[in-house]
Structure 1
Amino acid sequence: MPDAREDNERTLRHEMWRRYSGDDWEAFDALPAAVRKRVAEHAYDAWSVNVMLLWQHYKRVYGRTPRAERALIRYLDYCERLERAAFASRYTEMYGAMLPHDAAAATILREKPEAA
């Protein structure tokens, strides 16, 4: 796997996270449907191999249950918020202005959750 700076990655993610190597498509396909849907809606590339490793951890903790899926999705949401905050902070440092997406109070485009 190329270094994040050698591919299309232009954010500071390589400073925040470690990207594990492996087949991203195979890892994605092995995830539960609810987790795959959330990964597809992630604001950044959620790195499917990393998510698969997290899924294996959550399965050990909770079993292969909807609770494990929800816990993983909450953790992915948390990681996404950390990434967005770091990116917005770097943007402000570089340009002396608020990230336009945040200044506009824009949200991340996602499908609306299904009614329970």
Structure 2
Amino acid sequence: MSTQVENPTPAFPFTGFHAPVHNAPAVNSVNAGRSIPVKFSLGGDKGLDVLADDSPSSRQTACDGTATDPVDTGAVSTSGLTYDAATDTYTYVWKTDRAWAGTCRTFHLELSDGTDHVAHFQFR
């Protein structure tokens, strides 16, 4: 008797990041030290416990010199994760470091369902 292992469907139907962040493989261009509103939807309000422990995070990566898409950070003042029921949008405000100027980083949004979603950034 054989046992078939099923691949579970992620609990959250993540469909990509929303503006102003451009989805990979695009490289987002932003001024270091700015706060970036990282917006996404999960198919409705799943509560504010949707992030995995120690998420989000970022890691420095090599800059490959490809064209970049500018990110309009606007006036972002709220920090942390919020949910807007009117737009069905989660927003995590990512506060970047001025010391990152001239570097590239990959932003990792790991959700509590075990999925990891990335966006690439080049800092000026």
Name the TM-score, length of structure 1 as normaliser: 0.23
Structure of higher RCO (CA pairs closer than 8 Å, 6+ residues apart): 2
Which structure shows the higher strand fraction?
Answer: 2
